[in-house]
Structure 1
């Protein structure tokens, strides 16, 4: 599906007239703390037209998923399989309304985890044991959320017997019906670079020799796959662009792989010069390279995978890799980045995205703990962006073409659900307010509902609101609280005029009768 992004030049007089109409979106009643920070705006409005394109891509069910480390399961869900943490459960449900969660469990911990096998010596690089309790908790969590799991197996230990035993334990303990795929290892492209463990004298030991390459990966994967149960395999779980370019070669050699998995972070803390575009800063996170460029880097693989009968998931994604940088990841900028990036991934045809989180991560979506016997969560800014995406792009809806949908730091997206409801999202990552004039081709001139995603600034780590509501300093329910702040916007001359404050997002919802085109 081709997105048309071109400038539209309109008479200045029309622009000035539209500026007078912006109070339609700023004068609605609502809670004072959630009122938009309008500030100075650009002189000319941005005119966008939403087209009813019949060839638009759909947002697949399960598109937005989560990715956890092995230890994170009990940290978030608790250790009692009969009493799964209700706060975590609700926070997950908020992101996948009316659909099953695709939950990936793996990451770095996949290669540091094992199922203890009598007679086998625990590998030196293993730090976490899968236990019967962990299996029961994970099974209960999957049942509660109707989740489909992608489970990482230890690949770096280079022992097929160990991986086979682990796979058997996971299938028996959790149940094959809950398992979407088994994923061999985590980023084997780094096995020869980063240490798997350290010796007592401080020397580093890597999981593979310095000569390790795609040929070695294919040889290892084939050897392991021959010993694993007849379950769908996921891979190659790569993060490095150089290795990813050989994806076609890998898929041709591995017929058991049915789910293609790749990883990416737009910014990297370690081994990155401070003046590099990938060094973690708020400005770099909000740059087009971190969202549009990130998605475009997967476009060729989004075509390649389905052509071979596979689906492609970016099953590990977040803001900053190789180190914690909360000064970037725990700011409101991460919410705007996540919101736009998920749409960009859908644009290029990615089948699904798993946003990575675990306790202690610089980009942790929520910090969960027990206080006086009650579960509670401190919700980070990025989570709000994920929640707005779930509202703006319901599962099964289709992306609509938007003319002039990219203008500087402004991005405009649109979807249409099966009921005909059109949703138009404007994300303004810039330092000035923008006036957006939206025409929805073929839509009935109904009053539209307007919700806003706001914070004091893009560098704010608190004070985030979605439609006037928030989780506050902490939540004991996992639900937004407070009086909703929603405005109604009427069309004038067939256009909806919305002011989008600097560093914010706005969602217009036009309830339409079904057209038969959805």
Structure 2
């Protein structure tokens, strides 16, 4: 088996023949007797270490009829089959009296009853049935043993957490034709029932007038077809409140209730004059206090807030309409007053659930030092209805201003803003701020332009630690913190790795990291999406291309990073999804590049309903394993105390025939691909594999999955939530 599984797809037929000649009894029980599975391995370009061939069912004759196949190999017929290898669905023998369509319909019904399949999932009618994963480990792989609990963390992953970010300009392409609208709507629907698109970026600061009707009409069409909602970017750098108001008024008129919020300004620390702002006389002055003055004056005017709720602040004047920048405080770590920490020191360690969370992390804060407790999820995270927001909300309601909180900011270009500065902004904008926002990009030197750079674990952990400190500062005052713009590298990404499959693994892993750290959302930037002459940025998930070069016929061209969006969206799909706790066995040898994320929630159909009720299907435990190591696979043993001992699980595989450095042409998600498509839909037969427990150990149901290098797998099984 090892020689066959580890062979390249084009060499597997020869490996199978050699196996049959050298070990006929073992080969008879391997399931390779029919060439169909070998052909499918080649057709789907399954990478070394992964195969769709399954062992022969127990009892299959071997040794010339004198033996029978068992999970341990060919054995004499009198040998009893181990009980652990006889789960409920292991026989995988359909009723011969049923027609194929009837067989599949009954299988889907069983899966729906167990909460393993969304009844409205598109394309499932073409899914393969009765395919089972061979859980045998692969020699030479590392080993990872994890106990995965069903007790969830307090933090919920908000619906439609993962979104996109787009510059103003060429948005009209999404609805230029009916076919284009249908195709792009199909893309965005993969992100959830109400995907959130942030519109802005550098382009919002360069606006000379409100965007065209065509831009807004396209967004309205996406709202109608895909349920999309929007964060609309307004200019701040030009110091033209009238221009900002014209954009805001047009957006309200065209998009109405589909507007989630308005992003006032973009990356003020990267403005032409860097951080600063204009005073009431129109004179430019540097420093964070002057930026805050301009932001407050503009937001106050646009929102109609008449005073600062929550009590008087020493730096606020003119009844709340303006700020005295000389009185704006700065934290101890920001001696020069630019809002950026002079030294960045964040204690603790971020990482997958169970890895320590926010333990020991502190920051300059209103009211003293704040720390977190070890454990999973965004530890120490308070409800966004916490005391800070309740106090501000009560004051705003008293003033008749409760509905004026429509803005987000500051959309700082990195995570170096001090938590103290973020809190100063939150207190100042308590009337008009809906949430706070930052951006995040990885930064690389010229000698770091290779795919393993973005997969570097220490780089990501450091960024999550910085974000966690900011998130705690925001949450202390009752506001959420959104990553309004991010991607694998700055300035459109880096050719050679931002468009590779490695970027897909980074995307999924980063989304899990920041969701666990408590972000309210994360938006992958696409820039202009696509240009007839220049194409799109390297990191774009779905580029706008044109059929035959005809600019009147745009269509979505899916690139490798998009598949990472799909993995995360499937793992977090449902009504009330939270991270669970895991415990890593010290005997494990797989390195930190193998990440395991466990979540539990109620599948649901809409993703918009509240906590579980007795009308919903059972909860499902989802365990995502992401192997970012390009060279070494990992044998993963998952011990699930809360799983159904009489049930089974499903495996959703993500891999690329070209490895982590390959592009999107060879990427397969659950047996399907976007390669060669123009309609925004996956093509091919969906292949979600069944997997039976390897064995039971006391109250733990144990699953074994061999995860090849540079691949990812999602295991889903019915489970009960343990509060």
> Is TM > 0.5 for Structure 1 vs Structure 2?
yes
- The question of whether the paired residues in 2 share the 8 Å contact of 1:85 and 1:375 is answered with no
Partner of 1:68: 166
- The question of whether the paired residues in 2 share the 8 Å contact of 1:67 and 1:104 is answered with yes
How far is the alpha carbon of 1:132 from its aligned partner? 2.4
- The question of whether the paired residues in 2 share the 8 Å contact of 1:56 and 1:401 is answered with no
Is residue 286 of structure 2 the alignment partner of residue 111 of structure 1? Answer: no
Structure 2: 5+ residue runs without aligned partners?
Answer: 1-25, 51-137, 276-281, 305-403, 531-535, 603-617, 697-701
Secondary structure in structure 1 of the residue aligned to 2:537: coil
Whole-angstrom CA distance in 2 between matches of 1:101 and 1:132: 22
Whole-angstrom CA distance in 2 between matches of 1:448 and 1:243: 44
State the 4+ residue runs in structure 1 displaced beyond 6 angstroms. Answer: 23-28
Partner of 1:317: 486
CA spacing shift, 1:227–1:251, aligned 2, 3 Å: same
CA spacing shift, 1:506–1:187, aligned 2, 3 Å: same
Whole-angstrom CA distance in 2 between matches of 1:144 and 1:323: 28
Secondary structure in structure 1 of the residue aligned to 2:156: coil
CA spacing shift, 1:217–1:194, aligned 2, 3 Å: closer
CA spacing shift, 1:345–1:142, aligned 2, 3 Å: same
Is residue 660 of structure 2 the alignment partner of residue 458 of structure 1? Answer: yes
Whole-angstrom CA distance in 2 between matches of 1:104 and 1:264: 15
User: Structure 2 matches for 1:401-480, cutoff 5 A?
Assistant: 401-404=581-584, 407-418=591-602, 419-430=618-629, 431-445=631-645, 446-455=647-656, 456-461=658-663, 462-472=665-675, 474-480=676-682
How far is the alpha carbon of 1:407 from its aligned partner? 3.8
Whole-angstrom CA distance in 1 between matches of 2:283 and 2:437: 21
Partner of 1:138: 219
Whole-angstrom CA distance in 2 between matches of 1:262 and 1:394: 25
Is residue 585 of structure 2 the alignment partner of residue 505 of structure 1? Answer: no
- The question of whether the paired residues in 1 share the 8 Å contact of 2:594 and 2:627 is answered with yes
Whole-angstrom CA distance in 1 between matches of 2:31 and 2:296: 58
- The question of whether the paired residues in 2 share the 8 Å contact of 1:238 and 1:244 is answered with no
- The question of whether the paired residues in 2 share the 8 Å contact of 1:214 and 1:243 is answered with no
Is residue 692 of structure 2 the alignment partner of residue 490 of structure 1? Answer: yes
How far is the alpha carbon of 1:392 from its aligned partner? 1.3
Partner of 1:4: none
Whole-angstrom CA distance in 1 between matches of 2:157 and 2:693: 27
How far is the alpha carbon of 1:333 from its aligned partner? 0.5
Secondary structure in structure 2 of the residue aligned to 1:45: strand
User: Structure 2 matches for 1:71-150, cutoff 5 A?
Assistant: 71-75=169-173, 77-79=174-176, 85-96=181-192, 99-115=193-209, 130-150=211-231
Number of residue equivalences: 457
Indicate the RMSD between aligned Cα atoms, in angstroms: 2.9
User: Structure 2 matches for 1:68-467, cutoff 5 A?
Assistant: 68-75=166-173, 77-79=174-176, 85-96=181-192, 99-115=193-209, 130-175=211-256, 177-192=257-272, 212-229=286-303, 231=404, 232-245=406-419, 246-255=421-430, 256-268=432-444, 273-275=445-447, 279-357=448-526, 358-359=529-530, 360-371=536-547, 375-395=554-574, 396-404=576-584, 407-418=591-602, 419-430=618-629, 431-445=631-645, 446-455=647-656, 456-461=658-663, 462-467=665-670
1:43-65 per-residue CA deviation (whole Å, 9 max, x = no partner) reads 55210110122434321112111
1:69-115 per-residue CA deviation (whole Å, 9 max, x = no partner) reads 1114213x1346x776211110111121xx21111100111111243
> What is the TM-score normalised by the length of structure 1?
0.82
Whole-angstrom CA distance in 2 between matches of 1:336 and 1:54: 24
For the pair shown, which has the larger CA radius of gyration, 1 or 2?
Answer: 2
Give the number of the structure with larger relative contact order, counting CA–CA contacts within 8 Å between residues 6 or more apart: 1
Whole-angstrom CA distance in 2 between matches of 1:467 and 1:340: 18
